[in-house]
A and B are shown apart, each in its own frame.
Chain A
Amino acid sequence: MAREEAVVPKAEFRSYYGRPVIKAPIWHEPHMPLYLFLGGVSGASSMLGAGARLSGRHRLALSAEVTAALSAAAGAGLLVAELGRPERFLNMLRVFKLTSPMSVGSWILAAHSGMTGLAAGSAVTGLLPRLGTAAFAGGGVTGPLMATYTAVLVADTAVPAWHEGHRELPFLFAGSALASAGAAVMLATPPGEAGPARRAALIGATLETAAGHLMEHRLGMLAEPYREGPAGRTMRAARLLTVTGGALAALAEAAAVPSPRPRRPARARFSPLRPAPRAARPPSVPAVLRGMPAVLRELPAVLRGMPAQAVLGGVSALALAAGAVCTRFAVLRAGRASAEDPKYTVVPQRERVSARESPDPTPGPVPR
Chain B
Amino acid sequence: MAERMGFFTDTSVCIGCKACEVACKEWNDVPDDGFLFRATSYDNTGGLGADTWRHVAFVEQFTRQGDSWLMASDVCKHCTHAACLDVCPTGALFRTEFDTVVVQPDVCNGCGYCVPACPYGVIDRRRDDGRAWKCTMCYDRLRGGLEPACAKACPTDSIQFGPLEELRARAGERLDTLHGAGVAEARLYGESPADGVGGDGAFFLLLDEPEVYGLPPDPVVTTRDLPRMWAFAGTAALSMAAAVALSFARRA
B184 in contact with A350 (CB, 8 Å): no
From 126 to 150 in chain A, residues with beta carbon under 8 angstroms from any chain B beta carbon are: 143-145, 147-149
Instruction: State how many angstroms separate the Cβ of B140 from the closest Cβ of chain A.
Output: 22
Contacting residues, chain A, for B225 (C-beta < 8 A): 155-156, 163, 166
Q: Secondary structure at chain A's binding surface: helix, strand, loop or mixed?
A: helix
Bound together, the chains give a CA A13 to CA B211 distance in angstroms of 9
B17 CB–A CB distance under 8 Å:
no
Sampled A-B contacts (27; CB under 8 Å)? A4-B63, A7-B64, A14-B209, A19-B214, A21-B211, A21-B216, A22-B116, A25-B115, A43-B240, A47-B240, A48-B244, A51-B247, A84-B111, A85-B108, A92-B90, A99-B86, A101-B87, A152-B230, A157-B117, A157-B222, A158-B83, A163-B222, A178-B244, A346-B216, A350-B218, A362-B209, A367-B66
A125 at the interface (CB under 8 A from B): no
Chain B residue at minimal CB-CB distance from A87? B109
Instruction: Give the docked Cα–Cα distance between A219 and B83 (Å).
Output: 23
For the complex, count residues of A whose C-beta is within 8 A of B. 99
Q: Which residues of B contact A197 (CB under 8 A)?
A: 247
Distance A106 CA – B90 CA, assembled complex (angstroms): 10
Most buried by A among B92, B212, B219, B241: B241
- Are B216's CB and A83's CB within 8 A? no
* Shortest beta-carbon contacts, A-B, top 8: A84-B110, A84-B130, A16-B214, A170-B236, A88-B109, A144-B237, A103-B89, A349-B218
Interface residues of B in 193-250 (CB under 8 A from A): 207-209, 211-219, 222-223, 225-226, 228-230, 232-241, 243-248, 250
Q: Residue of A at shortest CB range from B61? A: A365
Q: Could you tell me the distance in whole angstroms from the C-beta of A95 to the nearest C-beta in chain B? A: 4
Say whether B124 faces chain A, with CB atoms less than 8 Å apart. Answer: yes
Distance, CA A310 to CA B212, complexed state (A): 60
- Residue of B87, B116, B211, B230 near A159 (CB, 8 A) is B116
**B 103-137 to A, binary, CB cutoff 8 A, 1 in contact else 0:** 00001111111011111111111100111100000
A149 to chain B, nearest CB (A): 6
A23 in contact (CB, < 8 A) = yes
Selected from A89, A106, A199, A349, the residue in CB contact (under 8 A) with B216 is A349
Residues of B within 8 A of A (CB): 38, 40, 46-47, 49, 57, 59, 61-66, 68, 83, 86-92, 107-113, 115-126, 129-132, 184-185, 187, 207-209, 211-219, 222-223, 225-226, 228-230, 232-241, 243-248, 250-252
Q: B233 to nearest A CB, angstroms?
A: 4
Bound Cα distance A57, B50 (Å): 54
Given the contacts A22-B121, A84-B131, A353 and B248 also touching, CB distance less than 8 Å = no
Whether A36 is near chain B, meaning CB under 8 Å from some CB there, is no
On chain A, the residues within 8 Å of B131 by CB distance are: 84-85
Instruction: Report which A residues bind B (CB closer than 8 A).
Output: 1, 3-4, 6-7, 13-17, 19-27, 43-44, 47-48, 50-52, 54-55, 82-86, 88-89, 91-92, 94-95, 97, 99-103, 105-106, 143-145, 147-149, 151-152, 155-159, 163, 166-167, 169-171, 173-174, 177-178, 182, 195-197, 199-200, 203-204, 207, 256, 258-261, 335, 339, 342, 345-346, 349-350, 352-353, 362, 364-368
A-B contact number at CB 8 A = 287
Name the contact of A174 in the complex, choosing from B116, B211, B239 (C-beta under 8 A).
Answer: B239
Chain A residue numbers with a CB within 8 Å of B107 are: 88, 91, 94
Contacts of A84 in B (CB 8 A): 108-112, 125-126, 129-132
Query: Which residue, of B122, B130, B215, B247, has the highest number of chain A Cβ atoms within 10 A?
Result: B247
State how many angstroms separate the Cβ of B231 from the closest Cβ of chain A: 9
Most buried by A among B49, B187, B212, B252: B252
Instruction: Report chain B residues within 8 Å CB of A44.
Output: 240, 244
Contact assessment for B109 and A261 in the assembled complex, using a CB-CB cutoff below 8 Å: no
Give the shortest distance, in Å, between B234 (CB) and chain A (any CB): 8
A207 to B244, CA, bound (A): 13
Partner of B236, one of A4, A26, A148, A367: A148
Task: Kindly list chain B residues whose C-beta atoms are within 8 Å of the C-beta of A95.
Answer: 89-91
Q: Are A47 and B121 in contact (CB under 8 A)?
A: no
Residues of chain B within 8 A (CB-CB) of A147 are 237, 240
Residue of A nearest to B105 (CB): A85
Residues of chain A contacted by B57 (CB below 8 angstroms): 16
Query: Which chain B residues border A94 with CB–CB below 8 Å?
Result: 90-91, 107
C-alpha spacing A173/B239, complex, angstroms: 12
